[in-house]
Amino acid sequence: MKKVFKSALAVLLVIILGGCTTTVDQKDTIDYKSALESVLFSEEYMPSVNEVEGNDNYTLKTYKNKRLFGGTGITLTEQLSAEEYEKKLDEINNTYSFLEEPQLTDYDEEHYTIPQAEFEIKGYKFRVLSDGTYPKYFGMIAVSDEEHRIIYFACDCQDLDYIEDMEDFIKENYPRWYK
Q: Residues of the chain with pLDDT > 90: what percent?
A: 56
CA distances from 27 to 22, 64, 73, 142 (A): 16, 9, 11, 20
pLDDT at 9 > cutoff 80 = no
Q: For residues 161 and 111, is the Cβ–Cβ distance under 8 A? A: yes
| pLDDT score, position 81 | 96
Pair 144, 124: CB distance under 8 Å: yes
pLDDT beyond 70 at 50:
yes
- pLDDT score of 93 more than 80: yes
Residue 179 has pLDDT above 90, yes or no: no
Identify the pLDDT of residue 101. 95
Residue 5 has pLDDT above 80, yes or no: no
Residue 59: pLDDT above 50? yes
The answer to whether residue 48 scores a pLDDT higher than 80 is yes
Find out whether 61 and 27 touch, Cβ atoms under 8 Å. yes
Say what the pLDDT of residue 13 is: 38
**Quick one: pLDDT at residue 109?**
86
- In terms of phi and psi (left: phi > 0; alpha: psi -120 to 50; beta: otherwise), the region of 148 is left
Q: Find all residues with CB under 8 Å of 37, minimum gap 6, and list them.
A: none
Q: Got the DSSP string for 115-148?
A: S-SEEEETTEEEEEBSS-BTTTEEEEEEEETTTT
Q: Which helix (H) or strand (E) holds 49?
A: helix 49-52
31 within 8 A of 52, measured Cβ to Cβ: no
Task: Quote the pLDDT of residue 29.
Answer: 53
Given a contact cutoff of 8 angstroms between Cβ atoms, the answer to whether 98 and 88 are in contact is no
Range in 22-26, 39-43, 160-164, 170-174 the model is least confident about:
22-26
Could you tell me if 115 and 166 are in contact, meaning their C-beta atoms sit under 8 angstroms apart?
yes
pLDDT one-digit tens code per residue, 100-157: 999 999 888 889 999 999 999 999 999 999 989 999 999 999 999 999 999 999 999 9
pLDDT at 16 over 80: no
Q: How far apart are CA 179 and CA 176, in angstroms?
A: 6
The predicted pLDDT at position 15 comes to 39
